[in-house]
A = this chain, B = another copy of it.
């Protein structure tokens, strides 16, 4: 663990700050954002940098945000603990990385067969999600805000064709979180491999299959060079949310207008990052098709039905493990039951109609 002394804390009493007197006189505040994103993977680390830059620009430099990639300050996935302890002011991550603290966190990132990006935003802001997230965060020392989305992901890269649910049996498949637990119940062998090592593991045969994000990020890792089958849809991550988690004391030290500014900018970056993932995934999917080497396949309906059944079980179990998780899972389930009919009538029916030509 590598710490630095440039930790902010104006009004928080957490740590000394090293700002020069002129900066202090102008009310300039330096804030440290740590992330769980490697700097060389497109989309996620960029999203953190752009969020920091947007807050800085919109405050005319009053709030300065220094953004660090995964591992620069603390080990990956220790970001929430580090922020809660005041080692940094805020993190940019996906909350399913904190599932071991409470499965409640997972519901604010991605749930198998759960909510799409825009449904997730609607749940958090209009379905009671934010209040439950605030209660969860309060117990873990952070204030959490939606600040980005990868959109719908892909099901993953496979070295061989998957003709049926039986094809998952014994498959060495990299998939973290609740999606991984679903695969375990399909008799797959779930393997943990860091993003940067997936390509080598598929090439050596240590892995038979792996999900990552979508064409843009996956091709940056070279996954299209080591596996020929690319399956969709990404049932396990239908719209993964990125989170800005701010040390609770730091959050409370902000003036109400700065809290509001951060919330508004974060919501804007949610829309922006989702747009960036979608626009770039479209470009890279087209490149993949024109290269002609990859079989882009839809999981068949029988397999999807089994994945759906297993997912319901896994999600229900995750939502029964502690008090926060129970309340969060129930709210998420009720909201999904409500929004689903509308999404089917609106977005789904439109996308299917547009495909009729």
Residues A34-80 near B (CB distance < 8 A): 54, 57-61
Closest 7 CB pairs of A and B: A267-B268, A60-B257, A126-B279, A152-B346, A122-B275, A268-B268, A282-B342
Segment at the B interface, from A86-94, A161-169, A186-194, A294-302: A294-302
Query: Known contacts A308-B354, A350-B235, A353-B235; is A278 also within 8 Å of B122 by CB?
Result: yes
**How many copies are assembled?**
2
A126 touches B276 (CB 8 A): yes
B346 touches A348 (CB 8 A): no
Q: How far is the CB of A296 from chain B (nearest CB, A)?
A: 7
In Å, the complex CA distance between A59 and B285 comes to 41
Interface membership of A345, Cβ < 8 A: yes
Instruction: Tell me whether chain A's interface is mostly helix, strand or loop, or mixed.
Output: helix
A117's nearest neighbour on chain B, judged by CB, is: B118
A272 touches B278 (CB 8 A): no
A residues with a Cβ closer than 8 A to B are: 54, 57-61, 113, 116-119, 121-123, 125-127, 151-154, 214-215, 232-235, 238, 255-257, 260-261, 263-272, 274-276, 278-283, 285-286, 289, 296, 298-299, 301, 304-305, 308-309, 338-357
CB contacts (< 8 Å) of A116 on chain B: these are: 347, 350-351
B266 touches A233 (CB 8 A): no
In Å, the complex CA distance between A289 and B214 comes to 37
B278 touches A113 (CB 8 A): no
A298 touches B233 (CB 8 A): no
Q: How far is the CB of A346 from chain B (nearest CB, A)?
A: 4
B255 touches A60 (CB 8 A): yes
CB contacts (< 8 Å) of A61 on chain B: these are: 257
A343 touches B351 (CB 8 A): yes
Q: How far is the CB of A320 from chain B (nearest CB, A)?
A: 20
CB contacts (< 8 Å) of A266 on chain B: these are: 268
CB contacts (< 8 Å) of A280 on chain B: these are: 126
CB contacts (< 8 Å) of A278 on chain B: these are: 118-119, 122, 339, 342-343, 346
CB contacts (< 8 Å) of A344 on chain B: these are: 351, 355
